[in-house]
């Protein structure tokens, strides 16, 4: 139901001025008067207190006809009545024409503006007051507090105390609530001292606010001590104590306190429902909500918004629709918080079209952003883009959601374009924005882009944000700069969370620093930071790449026995990889046979890759058969099996596999390598530079020169790698050494040597696993040119330096 449908008849005229017609309609018999009318002695006062403007106007007419405009008390009540009815313009006009004003007159119109968030108008009135009293100051503080301008509220309170205006109990209650909202513990402690100084620390309402502030600011002990000292505990006190327990995760104690309460109000129920919700117990939050309804306690808009959020987290569209029905029956659509929560719920639960219909009732930016996020999560980028483009004023949340959506749908270029628009024209990006665009940069593996984003985060004062720092660790690692990852990790030494540790462990594992990764993991455990399933993928991967079989076994047991993490396909693939790389194929097969779930493509793929390393053609055939049984169109499996046969010099079988690929029209992804030079990404395919590079002849010539040089140094080409980097059918028109020396990474290295300063690090990215021949050649080239060459292939990084590789030839 729309706001117009809910409005009382004629309410659309409530801002009209008092007219002659209104005066003529006045019926004196509706009121009675005493023979003598003094201040406050008019018996029609109930009409002045009414909120309906069509009741207030006759009362106003009566005051005018009776010549009572000079009665300040009556005029103040009329101003207040107009304001409460929504006729703020009438209230202001009446105030301006009052012949006599007292401090209550000013405070009345001041309160009217402050309650509606009309802060500029409130400031103007406040500045007109000859001598603002405690109520004036407190009204401004409450107004600032209510509409989120907490710093202004603190400044106002500070100025109030400086001018020696005595704060009231209500002042302290509200300014302490501001501290609770931003968890400003130091400021809260100072306010606590002032409350003691002014004699309010023993007042129940102030004590309740202090309990809430200390609890939300992380000082549960002080909060508990204050709660224990409150002698006359009221419902608000018990509500604060429940919130305290919920804030520190003591759900059972909160429930026990709730059960003992003799009297409960809507806030009591909200404390339990929101507490369960924010502690992650959304099912219990919903159960409490239905129990609340059975207890004949009417939920408020905060309750409804909270349980809708719980439905969204649980992906429970059924209960969400029931709550939607409750909203309709109880006419709660006027609440922006409820409208936003409803759209968020439908967006999360897949009811995108219903969410869009709800949007016609709620036009807030939060609602638009929720719907945008729903479309993006469903992968429907086009309507999401339409919504984004339709927003006249895009906030940082909407822009960040669009960036993440573009990234998830593979449109990294568009994501970066939105970010550039934010930097140039606003809204200013926040920490979440930078974390998102750093993820985009990670996908692009662009070190230059990543550095520019890092510089922008410094400019915006967000480089020390934990989410940004964590993203920097990952971005620099994926861009090939493990040193920068380490520096980002060191910069947050005292603030590391599980994501920080996991990002660093995974980075070290991918770059071949297995022992260092395990040391970091042990340090993480010593810091009482719990690992998650991603952490253990990094740990087990580090063991596999470093050949640490015993350590891998131990950590796998610890994962399940100590940390209660059930093995996923990724964990199992790491263990198969660990045993396979070590040549322990019997152990690998036993592990696969003992898996609780059916092995998937990832597990069989790990075994197949290990067979290539150790030239185990028989087991490779088994692994490929099982893999293709799950995914018949997997070109990588055919290619890997053919490469195993080639490594074993079983050329006939290799040819048969490639022929089968061709007959079944299965194509393997072609090998591509790329590097970034002068902010431009240059891409290379095997034997193919002409289509991408005008200087193709120079690149081929450089590749030829380097090839001959490393052969003189002792490099021996690996004939088994001839077909590794070419298209699926192998018909590339090249054979022998020509097929090897023009593999994509060799062409990329040749271009890098021609286009980058001597002594600088070459960073090459590749979409497939690096072949034996290119791996061996890169070691020789690094020694020949005296430069570090970093190659990221499909599984890890290789740092070639002085003729050696960081993987120790174990990849």
pLDDT at 3: 35
pLDDT one-digit tens code per residue, 408-427: 777 888 888 899 888 888 78
Q: Let me know whether 157 and 46 are in one domain.
A: no
pLDDT at 45: 44
pLDDT one-digit tens code per residue, 557-576: 999 999 999 999 999 999 99
- Report, as an integer, the average pLDDT of 735-743: 75
Q: Let me know whether 714 and 634 are in one domain.
A: no
Three-state DSSP string of 217-256? CCCHHHHHHHHHHCCCCCHHHHHHHHHHHHHCCCHHHHHH
**Residue carrying structure tokens 């493509």:** 601
Q: Is 194 part of a structural domain of the chain?
A: no
CA 576 to chain centre: 34
pLDDT higher than threshold 50 for residue 29: no
Q: Is 64 part of a structural domain of the chain?
A: yes
pLDDT higher than threshold 70 for residue 19: no
Q: Let me know whether 677 and 801 are in one domain.
A: yes
pLDDT at 415: 87
In percent, the amount of the chain with pLDDT more than 90 equals: 38
Q: 474: exposed, middle or buried (C-beta count within 10 Å: 0-12, 13-18, 19+)?
A: buried
Domain end residue (candidates: 649, 668, 687): 668
pLDDT at 305: 92
State the Rg of the chain over Cα: 36
Q: Is 45 part of a structural domain of the chain?
A: yes
Q: Which residues contact 765 (CB under 8 A, 6 or more apart)?
A: 445, 480, 673, 674, 675, 791, 792
Contact predicate 258/264, CB 8 Å: yes
pLDDT one-digit tens code per residue, 334-367: 777 888 888 888 888 888 778 777 765 554 556 6
Q: Let me know whether 664 and 683 are in one domain.
A: no
Q: Let me know whether 17 and 31 are in one domain.
A: yes
Peptide bond into 410 cis (omega under 30): no
Domain end residue (candidates: 638, 668, 698): 668
Q: What is the pTM of this model?
A: 0.62
Q: Which residues contact 73 (CB under 8 A, 6 or more apart)?
A: 39, 40
pLDDT at 101: 87
Range name among 98-112, 375-389, 583-597, 769-783 with the lowest pLDDT average: 375-389
For 712, other C-beta atoms within 10 Å of its C-beta total: 9
Q: Is 244 part of a structural domain of the chain?
A: no
pLDDT higher than threshold 60 for residue 730: no
pLDDT at 388: 80
pLDDT higher than threshold 50 for residue 35: no
Number of domains making up the chain:
4
- Report, as an integer, the average pLDDT of 672-693: 76
pLDDT higher than threshold 90 for residue 11: no
Q: Let me know whether 121 and 157 are in one domain.
A: yes
Tokens read off for 415: 């994501």
pLDDT one-digit tens code per residue, 484-534: 999 999 999 888 999 999 999 999 999 989 999 999 999 999 998 989 999
Q: Let me know whether 731 and 643 are in one domain.
A: no
- Per the structure, the complete domain to which residue 748 belongs is given by 673-805
**Residue carrying structure tokens 């309650």:** 115
Q: Let me know whether 801 and 680 are in one domain.
A: yes
Where does the pLDDT of residue 1 fall: very low under 50, low under 70, confident under 90, or very high at 90 and above?
A: very low
Domain end residue (candidates: 668, 699, 729): 668
Q: Let me know whether 123 and 75 are in one domain.
A: no
Q: Is 42 part of a structural domain of the chain?
A: yes
Q: Which residue has the higher pLDDT, 692 or 728?
A: 692
Q: Let me know whether 792 and 685 are in one domain.
A: yes
Q: Give CA–CA dist 242/272, Å, rounded.
A: 7
Q: Let me know whether 72 and 105 are in one domain.
A: no
Q: What are phi and psi of 104, to 5 degrees?
A: -65, -35
Q: Let me know whether 606 and 718 are in one domain.
A: no
Q: Which residues contact 298 (CB under 8 A, 6 or more apart)?
A: 266
Q: Which residue has the higher pLDDT, 289 or 795?
A: 289
Per-residue CA distances from 201 to 191, 192, 194 (Å): 10, 7, 9
Q: Is 252 part of a structural domain of the chain?
A: no
Strands 762-766 and 672-677: antiparallel
Q: Is 32 part of a structural domain of the chain?
A: yes
- Report, as an integer, the average pLDDT of 603-621: 91
Q: Is 135 part of a structural domain of the chain?
A: yes
Q: Give CA–CA dist 581/257, Å, rounded.
A: 58
Closest to 323 in 3D by CA, of 290, 348, 356: 290
In percent, the amount of the chain with pLDDT more than 70 equals: 86
Q: Which residues contact 730 (CB under 8 A, 6 or more apart)?
A: 658, 723
pLDDT at 16: 40
């Amino acid at each position: 139901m729309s706001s117009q449908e809910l409005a009382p008849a004629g309410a659309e005229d409530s801002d009209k001025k008092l007219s002659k017609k209104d005066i003529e309609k006045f019926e004196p018999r509706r009121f009675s008067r005493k023979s003598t009318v003094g201040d406050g002695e008019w018996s029609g006062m109930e009409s002045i207190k009414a909120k309906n403007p069509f009741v207030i106007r006759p009362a106003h007419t009566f005051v005018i006809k009776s010549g009572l405009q000079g009665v300040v008390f009556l005029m103040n009540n009329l101003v207040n009545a107009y304001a409460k009815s929504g006729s703020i313009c009438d209230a202001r006009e009446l105030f301006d024409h009052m012949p006599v004003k007292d401090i209550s007159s000013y405070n009345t119109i001041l309160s009217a503006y402050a309650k509606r968030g009309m802060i500029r108008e409130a400031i103007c009135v406040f500045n007109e007051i000859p001598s603002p009293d405690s109520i004036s100051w407190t009204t401004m503080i409450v107004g600032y507090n209510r509409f989120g301008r907490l710093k202004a509220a603190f400044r106002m309170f500070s100025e109030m105390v400086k001018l020696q205006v005595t704060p009231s109990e209500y002042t302290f209650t509200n300014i302490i609530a501001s501290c609770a909202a931003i968890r400003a513990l130091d400021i809260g402690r100072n306010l606590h001292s002032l409350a003691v100084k002014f004699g309010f620390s023993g007042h129940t309402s102030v004590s309740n606010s202090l309990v809430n502030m200390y609890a939300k600011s992380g000082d549960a002990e002080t909060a508990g001590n204050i709660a224990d000292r409150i002698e006359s505990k009221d419902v608000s006190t018990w509500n604060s104590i429940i919130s305290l327990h919920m804030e520190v995760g003591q759900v059972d104690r909160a429930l026990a306190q709730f059960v003992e309460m003799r009297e409960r109000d809507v806030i009591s129920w909200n404390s339990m429902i929101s507490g369960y919700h924010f502690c992650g117990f959304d099912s219990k939050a919903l159960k409490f909500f239905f129990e609340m309804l059975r207890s004949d306690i009417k939920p408020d808009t905060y309750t409804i918004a909270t349980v809708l959020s719980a439905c969204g987290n649980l992906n429970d569209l059924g209960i969400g629709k029931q709550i939607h029905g409750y909203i309709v029956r109880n006419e709660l659509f006027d609440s922006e918080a409820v409208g936003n929560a409803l759209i968020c719920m439908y967006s999360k639960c897949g009811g995108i079209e219903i969410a869009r219909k709800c949007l016609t009732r709620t036009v807030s930016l939060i609602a638009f952003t929720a719907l945008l996020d729903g479309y993006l999560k469903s992968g429907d980028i086009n309507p999401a883009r339409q919504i984004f483009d339709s927003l006249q004023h895009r906030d940082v949340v909407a822009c960040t959601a669009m960036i993440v959506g573009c990234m998830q749908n593979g449109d990294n270029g568009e994501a970066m374009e939105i970010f550039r628009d934010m930097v140039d024209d606003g809204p200013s990006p926040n920490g979440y924005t930078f974390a998102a665009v750093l993820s985009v940069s990670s996908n692009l593996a662009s070190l230059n882009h990543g550095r520019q984003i890092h510089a922008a985060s410094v400019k915006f004062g967000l480089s020390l944000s934990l989410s940004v720092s964590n993203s920097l660790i990952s971005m620099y690692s994926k861009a090939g700069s493990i040193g920068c990852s380490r520096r980002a990790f060191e910069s947050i030494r005292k603030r590391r969370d599980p994501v920080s540790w996991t990002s660093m462990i995974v980075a070290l594992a991918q770059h071949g620093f297995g022992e260092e990764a395990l040391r970091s993991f042990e340090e993480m455990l010593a810091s009482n930071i719990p690992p998650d399933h991603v952490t253990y993928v990094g740990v087990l991967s580090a063991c596999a790449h470093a050949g640490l079989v015993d350590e891998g076994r131990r950590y796998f047991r610890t994962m399940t026995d100590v940390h209660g993490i059930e093995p996923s396909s990724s964990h199992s693939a790491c263990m198969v990889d660990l045993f396979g790389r070590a040549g322990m194929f019997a152990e690998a097969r036993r592990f696969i046979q003992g898996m609780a779930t059916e092995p998937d493509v990832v597990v069989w793929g790990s075994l197949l890759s290990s067979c290539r390393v150790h030239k185990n053609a028989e087991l490779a055939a088994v692994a490929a058969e099982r893999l293709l049984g799950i995914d018949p169109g997997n070109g990588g499996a055919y290619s890997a099996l053919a490469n195993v046969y080639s490594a074993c010099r079983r050329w006939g079988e290799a040819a048969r596999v490639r022929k089968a690929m061709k007959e079944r029209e299965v194509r393997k992804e072609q090998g591509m390598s790329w590097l970034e030079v002068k902010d431009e990404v240059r891409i290379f395919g095997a034997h193919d530079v002409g289509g991408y590079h005008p200087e193709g002849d120079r690149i081929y010539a450089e590749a030829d020169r380097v090839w001959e040089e490393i052969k003189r140094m002792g490099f021996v080409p690996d004939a088994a790698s001839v077909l590794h980097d070419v298209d699926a059918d192998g018909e590339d028109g090249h054979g022998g050494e020509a097929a090897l020396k023009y593999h994509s990474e060799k062409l990329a290295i040749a271009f890098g040597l021609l286009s980058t300063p001597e002594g600088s690090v070459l960073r090459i990215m590749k979409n497939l696993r690096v072949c034996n021949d290119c791996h061996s050649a890169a070691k020789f080239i690094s020694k020949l040119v005296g430069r570090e060459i970093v190659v990221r292939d499909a599984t890890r990084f290789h740092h070639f330096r002085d003729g050696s590789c960081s993987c120790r030839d174990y990849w």
